[in-house]
Homo-oligomer: A and B are copies of this chain.
Amino acid sequence: MHLRSLASFPGRISQTLSRSNSAGLLTAQSTHAQNIQTFTKKVKHAQLLTPSRSVNFRSTSLLSTSSHVKSRSQTEKKTTGVPASVTKFLECEDHLQLEYKGAKLKLNYVWLRDHCRTGDSINHLTQQRMVDSALIDPNIQPVNVAIDEGTLSITWPDGHQSEYDLEWLLSNTYEGKQHLQGTLEPLLWNLETLSASPSPSVSYQDYLTDDGQLSKLLHNLLKYGFAFVEEAPVTVEATLAVAERISQIRETFFGRFWCFTSDLERHDTAYTAEALGAHTDTTYLNEPAGVQVFHKMEHVGEGGDTLLVDGFHAAERLRQEDPEGFAILSSVSVPHHYLEPTIHTTGVGPVLELEPGPCKELKLIRYNMHDRACLDTVPMEDVSRWYSALRNLTRYIRDPASEYWVTLQPGRILLTYNWRVLHGRSAFTGRRRVAGCYLPRDDVISRARVLKVI
């Protein structure tokens, strides 16, 4: 992340950046649309001034390769003697081709200029881009390209030098990412795999004082989709302390902190004594809550056990056994809603939402039969297939082999990753009070990144 201290940028803070830089450095004095044309002309001029566009490899000899790519200046520049880790290196009309550690990278020149991490291209304090992406000449080409064991170096027409770590290119390109594994592989579980795994718990006191235990909790939360904090005081303050150790709380119209019992104070089945099937929460918000914190404060009566189901495990079964169903549930956005006399929210998104990019990992499951609103986002031709896919997914979710039942006791705080793990409860009798809150997913993930859990 190369965060540098403020002291190393004494002149930057109060400067308005010049637009004359040929990469189009960012400035806001953009009331003059003709700047774009001016900029383009400048770059073309710079290219004309370049006497000969040599390809300068730091390695010494050229390797003959074959390729079907379009030629640049009629002939492709081919190389040998590039580092052993680079098995192909080819300079084409609008991109470089680079085979590194088995990944076939195609590096578009505009993309390369836009992603330069050197000089004035980026503010090293804020890590914010200084290049104005929209002002990069669409026909930009390097005047010089060099590669050594770890680094790709490019000289641009205006003389700007860029360097790219090859490992960085692997981690930050669509093609490179196909070859990478996450640092924390989630364990998709059913009852059987979960029984073979250690109980994901930390103790309250350790967790509050020891960053290692906080990391362990976040690891559990992201590996299993849930985690426990044990031996906590049975108070609202302790429950909040567990939450706020991770991040600020995500306030909703339920407040920062909620406490539900079967009084139907709110217009939601959670506020009844009914059984609740496995579901995810707050599907009626555009972005469902990331983490839910539950603390059963008291229960004098029977029942009310907590059900957990790994939604990603069920979704992956669907991907294997009904690929067409997986495709429709992951591409069609559907609405959910929440209605009270003074509240009417609508959340819209696919039941199974995927991360963008090459790997198509699951990002989020929205699953709530109660709160799903009218299916008005799919042409009627597709409605039947959508319901068929929902039936299959539901079959996997309700498979008894998927269901992990827990009896929560006061003092044992449960955190669920609501984007992945569904929760429910059995019906109950008597007085039962459960308190908790939501955390924003962005901030939970941020905390895990900063602590190097992921």
Contacts and interface: CB of A to CB of B under 8 A. Distances in A.
A246 to B, nearest CB: 12
B286 A450 contact: no
A134 B427 contact: no
Contact of A400 (B32, B277, B355): B32
Interface string A49-72: 000000000000000000000000
A336 to B, nearest CB: 10
Nearest to A111: B383
A80 interface: no
A110 interface: yes
Given A111-B387, A252-B248, A13 B262 contact: yes
A269 B123 contact: yes
A277 B27 contact: yes
Identical chains in the assembly = 2
Contacts of A355: 348
A17 B345 CA distance: 26
Most buried by B among A343, A346, A370: A370
Interface stretch (A201-209, A222-230, A389-397): A389-397
A129 B370 contact: yes
Interface string A190-219: 000000000000000000000000000000
Interface stretch (A231-239, A319-327, A371-379): A371-379
B272 A339 contact: no
Contact of A345 (B26, B333, B442): B442
Interface stretch (A81-89, A167-175, A406-414): A167-175
A356 B374 contact: no
A130 B138 CA distance: 56
A73 interface: no
B383 A286 contact: no
A286 B376 contact: no
A441 B345 CA distance: 9
A187 interface: no
Interface residues of A, number: 126
A38 interface: no
Nearest to A3: B341
Most buried by B among A110, A115, A381, A395: A110
A431 interface: no
A353 B113 CA distance: 26
A441 B369 CA distance: 24
B369 A31 contact: no
A250 B440 CA distance: 10
List the 6 closest A-B pairs by CB distance, nearest first: A28-B275, A134-B394, A333-B356, A106-B380, A287-B287, A128-B370
Given A13-B274, A28-B276, A28-B426, 7 more contacts: A16-B427, A126-B268, A127-B267, A129-B369, A132-B277, A172-B376, A250-B251
14 contacts: A3-B267, A26-B370, A31-B400, A31-B403, A33-B398, A129-B369, A138-B384, A174-B376, A174-B377, A174-B379, A175-B379, A248-B252, A345-B442, A357-B376
Interface of A: 1, 3, 6, 13-17, 26-33, 36, 94-95, 105-108, 110-111, 114-115, 123, 125-134, 136, 138, 172-177, 247-253, 255, 262, 264, 267-269, 272-278, 285-287, 307, 332-335, 337, 339-348, 355-358, 369-372, 374-381, 383-384, 387-388, 390-391, 393-395, 398-400, 403, 424-427, 440-443, 445-446, 449-450
